Amino acid sequence: MQLEDVLCSKTRIRILKVMVRLGRLNVSTVAKMMRINYCASLKHLEILENAGLLQRTDYGRLRLYRFNENSMVSKALSRVLEIWEPQ
């Protein structure tokens, strides 16, 4: 997957920012925070997961996503976000 495909969406970038700050979130919480519907939220999260930026853990029907700190790309992106938008 190309960088442009993953980061071409403002919503996906906002999701990444939230994940870096808050850690683990479920699909419904992401949908509420982004003010989008559940299906759209799930689609964005799946794209980010497929790109290796997020990791998913399933607990029955509950899907939790978290920032993938084991990926070199995720680490680099996290650093860019820290520099670009310090907290």
Domain chopping of the chain, boundaries = 3-79
Going by pLDDT thresholds of 50, 70 and 90, the confidence category of residue 87 is: low
Contact (CB, 8 A) for 66 and 57 = yes
Q: What is 3-79's CATH number?
A: 1.10.10.10
CA 33 to chain centre: 12
Instruction: Please give the mean pLDDT across all residues of the chain.
Output: 92
Calpha distance 28→87 (Å, rounded): 25
Average pLDDT over residues 2-26: 91
The answer to whether residue 82 scores a pLDDT higher than 80 is yes
Q: What is the mean pLDDT of residues 3-28?
A: 91
pLDDT of residue 33: 96
